[in-house]
Structure 1
Amino acid sequence: MSAEGSLAISPAARDALQTWLETQSALMDWSDRTVEAYRGDLGEFLAFIALHEGGTQGMAALARVGVSDMRAWMARSRASGVGPRSLARKLSAVKSFYRWLADREGFDATAVLSARSPKYQRKLPRPLAEADAAQILAQVGEQDARQWISARDIAVVTLLYGCGLRISEALSLTAEALPLGESLRILGKGQKERVVPVIAPARRAVEVYLDLCPWPMEPGAPVFRAVKGGALAPRTIQAAMAKARAQMGLPASATPHALRHSFATHLLNAGGDLRAIQELLGHASLATTQAYTAVDSARLMDVYRKAHPRG
């Protein structure tokens, strides 16, 4: 956002944005990074509307936003190099803000809420092949000569692949979750709770790590520890995965999150129910989980193209 654009945003609009960010962050448990992303997207929109209207005009200008204003903003965004996927994200942020603002201020936000999102090709999840997923679990454990750290890294990635956890979910486990049973209660995005089954290999991997870990598992303490005893950072596991995939010749898409994709894809390929997989992953929308059916369809079409005789 330009300095001119930032100055054009009225104090009232700036205050409304800050209030919305604080409210949504509390409700959805947003990270600081997410808050700043929304602040940037909405700040750019508010600045555009202010300048489009001729300068700082307070909340009245926001209530007057019409179809032509939305088209002008989207055209300006595309002209400045914003791709369709990024513009769709920005528009979603604007609509969320306007739903809240229109309810609070009592105006009709139909023009904003009816704006059509640009079409774009959604990126499909990129899971690992089953053999590669199994091998990388062991390969990750070979990145550090210290036995307890090796066991720790194996335990983390086994939970990601075996239970479909996000890396933040695995690393947020505390001593209260121990000993791991046949199921685990996870607090995911937006403070949504779900229960996931814990397969025997994951339980064993965690038990091996706990036997070797030099740090006591006191109440409230993180299960997975850094070298000096603090909570383990995601970047440590990401680095171990990066080394392992380089050794195996796997693409850069073979990240810790790819293990979660692999969990879902392999479960679906084995006949898993899509609704059940949605619950296991903690997806708010079934549409998100359905991306894995597209992965399977893409794989089958690739096999078909390679096998089909050509005239």
Structure 2
Amino acid sequence: MQARIEELLDGYQRELGPRRGLSDLTVEAYIHEARSLLEYLAASVGLEPHDPLNLENLELADVRSWLARFQRAGQSRSTLARHGASIRTFCSWLYRSGYSGQDAAARLKSPRPDNELPHVLSQDQARHLLNYAHERAKANDPVKVRDWAAAELLYASGLRISELCSLDVASLGADSTVRVIGKGNKERIVPYGVPATRALMRYLDLRPGLIKSPTKALFLGVRGGRMNPRQMREVVHRLAAEAGVPDISPHDLRHSAATHLLEGGSDLRTVQEILGHSSLQTTQRYTHVSAERLRSAFSQSHPRA
């Protein structure tokens, strides 16, 4: 059965959103992956994106060929695994919807994710980054105050970047907690400390200066819309570069928060709850980070190291 790319994506989006109850950001990521595959398949047979595409004979080799492009581009195994998981969902939908004669990605095996330890800042580096963001915000520019508040909240709460961007003003509690909707639409309440509270209160005072039309979103871009993860990543990278600390991503701030909590004496279960991990095994990775740092400090300072 032939169909145009936009027709396929519209049907797939209807499946993902209302029927599965996925968040808007997750649906957007799944649609992006599906579009990438469809445009690759169209180009491989000389079709334009608006031409009808016949997926009746879609097979595993086609999906592997699409994935191989990302591997040649040097993407990590964890990223390749994410591509594979997303496209398995899409190919299953194509088969169930009658667009393809088989579930082409059913036998697709994802590469084993990297076992590299997370990249984290030291506590001194994190403190320097946030102090710099604070100093930068003293000009009372709403954008710079927003950047300070976002960085403080990311580090204080260990939120995922998608969770941070999805926050509404009403997500903030009066008791310095934030209500988060995480993976699988699971809700959790995460506390944050005095520095993040101070930054958020200042940002909320200046947030009206960014509003162009009524919105519930907490973090707003210069055009008044909800900030997306790409924009927030740019904020964190820019702050790190200007502060003179190692380049980090928002997820690295999450890793740093988890590591520093454990170094400060928090137990694994507490950190698991804060981060929203479904498995304690995921949280246990951070104990290795702390152990690596202890070994490094020992080798540099102990007289009999």
Same fold, TM-score > 0.5, yes or no: yes
Indicate the RMSD between aligned Cα atoms, in angstroms.
4.6
C-alpha distance 13-236 of structure 1, shift in aligned 2 (>3 A): closer
Displacement of 1:232 in angstroms is: 6.9
1: distance between equivalents of 2:53 and 2:271?
A: 49
The answer for the alignment partner of 1:186 in structure 2 is 180
Q: Is the 8 A contact 1:176 1:220 kept in 2?
A: no
- Whole-Å separation in 2 of the counterparts to 1:276 and 1:50: 53
Deviation at 1:274, TM superposition (A): 3.3
Q: 1:252 aligns with which of 247, 250, 275?
A: 247
- Cα contact 1:186–1:195 (8 A) shared by 2: yes
Partners of 2:39 and 2:153 lie apart in 1 by 40
Partner Cα separation in structure 2 for residue 225 and residue 190 of structure 1:
25
* Aligned partner letter, 2:64: M
**Aligned match of 1:96:** 89
The counterpart of 1:138, out of the listed 128, 131, 136, is 131
Determine which of 57, 62, 66 is the counterpart of 1:61.
57
1:197 equivalent in structure 2: 191
Deviations 1:231-261 (CA, angstroms, capped at 9, x unpaired): 57467766665554345431222x4443222
Q: Secondary structure at the match of 1:121?
A: coil
1:34 paired with 2:29, answer yes
Q: Contact 2:233/2:250 (CA < 8 Å) preserved in 1?
A: yes
Residues 4-83 of structure 1: matches in 2 within 5 Å?
A: 10-11=2-3, 18-26=10-18, 27-31=21-25, 34-43=29-38, 58=54, 60-62=56-58, 65=59, 69-70=60-61, 74=64, 78=68, 81=72, 83=74
Q: Contact conserved, 1:184 with 1:195, CA < 8 A, in 2? A: yes
Post-superposition offset of 1:163: 1.4
CA deviation vs aligned residue, 1:133-190 (integer Å, no higher than 9, x gap): 1222121122255236465443332211111224554455444346631432123455
What amino acid sits opposite 1:95 in the alignment?
Answer: R
* Number of residues of Structure 1 aligned to a counterpart in Structure 2: 290
Percent of matched pairs sharing the same residue: 34
Say if 2:260 is the partner of 1:270: no
The answer for the alignment partner of 1:115 in structure 2 is 108
8 Å CA contact retained: 1:50, 1:61 = no
Q: 1:232 to 1:117 in 2, by over 3 A?
A: closer
Paired letter, 2:118: P
CA distance in 2, matches of 1:114, 1:92: 11
Q: Does 1:299 align with 2:293?
A: yes
1:199-218 to 2 correspondences below 5 Å? 199-210=193-204
Q: Specify every segment of 5 or more residues in structure 1 that has no aligned partner in the other structure, as ranges.
A: 1-8
Q: Which amino acid aligns with 2:128?
A: Q
1:5 maps to none
Closer, same or farther in 2 for the Cα pair 1:121/1:13, shift >3 Å? same
Which runs of 5 or more residues in structure 2 are unaligned?
Answer: 47-51
Q: Distance in 1 between matches of 2:222 and 2:110?
A: 46
Q: Which has the larger radius of gyration?
A: 1
Give the equivalent residue in structure 2 for 1:3.
none
Equivalent-residue separation in structure 2 for 1:34 and 1:153 (angstroms): 24
Paired letter, 2:266: G
- Following superposition, the deviation at residue 303 of structure 1 comes to 4.8
